[in-house]
Amino acid sequence: MKYYVYRITCHHPLSTEKYYYGSRGSTKPPEEDNYWSSSKYVKEAIASFGLEFFTKKIIKTFDTKEESLDLEIRLHEKLSVDTHEKFFNRCKQSKWGYNCTGTVVKGKTYEEILGVERATALRQLRSINAKGKDNRWTKNPMFGKKHSAEMKAKLSNDRIGSLHPTFGWKWITNGIESKKIDPNETSIPDGWKYGRVFKGNRKNDTHYLA
């Protein structure tokens, strides 16, 4: 097993984020390790722009995980990768794990980050790349189909009364949140009572059934 610190660079002109620093352990030689980080932001960018716009550089290799983590920590701290808009990293590595302090782009729209022209171009590119790709909806065997009236009635009747999977379960609440408990439970936690709290567009913000 070899450990190494790497840098991923995005060369696409529409990407605000350009770099990602990480560390990795691999049984393969680092130069042959076809790994592009576990970051969802890097993965989304690769899916949008294409892998041909990304390069990976091995910064340094080590014999131990501790050595590679130490360099990753120092690079993350020096470059402020968690808050700098040029980095895909959203957290900094530390001795106790990742320290996520947010990012300068958090909560901002594409228009605020990229400008209207570049944001529009990015959305169009992502739309084009997404066409023809399967997603969790199209993989559903019922995608594009509808149940017949008879099937809807059967499914409904199969869950009436004692046939429903949560039949007999009871609501309990502590005044802030509510949850259901198995009817076989003979006691409830301290500070809880039977009933339910409703929140949202109700006549009362809080209401107990019991």
pLDDT category at 135 given cuts 50, 70, 90 is low
Count of structural domains within the chain:
2
The pLDDT assigned to 136 comes to 53
DSSP secondary structure code for residue 31 in this structure: G
Share of the chain above pLDDT 90, in %: 30
Q: In the listed set 106, 128, 150, which residue is the last one of a domain according to the structure?
A: 128
Distance between CA atoms of residues 54 and 10, nearest Å: 5
Please check whether residue 86 lies inside any domain of the structure. Answer: yes
Residue 19 lies in a domain: yes
Q: Count Cβ neighbours within 10 Å for each residue of 78-93 and write b for 16 or more, e otherwise.
A: ebebbbeeebbbbbbb
- Which has the minimum average pLDDT: 37-41, 45-49, 55-59, 192-196? 192-196
Q: What is the pLDDT of residue 202?
A: 43
Q: Does 107 have pLDDT greater than 60?
A: no
Whether 174 and 87 share a structural domain = no
| Domain that includes residue 196, residue range | 164-210
Please give the Cα distance from 76 to 7 (Å, whole number).
Answer: 11
Judge if 88 and 169 occupy the same domain. no
Torsion of CA 158, 160, 163, 167, to 10 degrees: 150
Does residue 45 form part of some domain? yes
Q: Is residue 142 part of a domain?
A: no
Domain membership flag for residue 135: no
pTM to 2 decimal places: 0.51
**Domain identity same for 104 and 185:** no
In terms of domains, do 119 and 169 share one?
no
Among 29-33, 34-38, 95-99, 172-176, the range scoring the smallest mean pLDDT is: 95-99
Residue 193 clears pLDDT 60, i.e. is over it: yes
Cα angle value 159/140/158 (rounded, 5°)? 10
For the chain, count helices (H), then strands (E): 5, 8
Q: Is residue 7's pLDDT more than 90?
A: yes
Classify residue 99: in a domain, yes or no.
Answer: yes
The reported pLDDT for the residue numbered 79 is 92
In a shared domain, residues 105 and 208: no
Rg (CA), the chain: 26
152: in domain: no
pLDDT bracket for residue 108 (50, 70, 90): low
What pLDDT does 133 receive?
55
DSSP-H helix ranges across 145-199: 149-157
Whether residue 169 is found in the same domain as residue 124: no
Q: How confident is the model at residue 121 (pLDDT cuts 50, 70, 90)?
A: confident
Residue that is last in its domain, among 73, 100, 128: 128
Same domain, residue pair 122 and 197: no
Closest CA to 75 of 26, 22, 24: 22
Candidate from 57-61, 188-192, 198-202 with smallest mean pLDDT: 198-202
Average pLDDT over every residue of 182-191: 79
Residue ending a domain, among 128, 148, 174, is: 128
CA–CA dist 40, 15 (Å, integer): 15
Which single residue is written with the structure tokens 């004692």? 162
Residue 150 lies in a domain: no
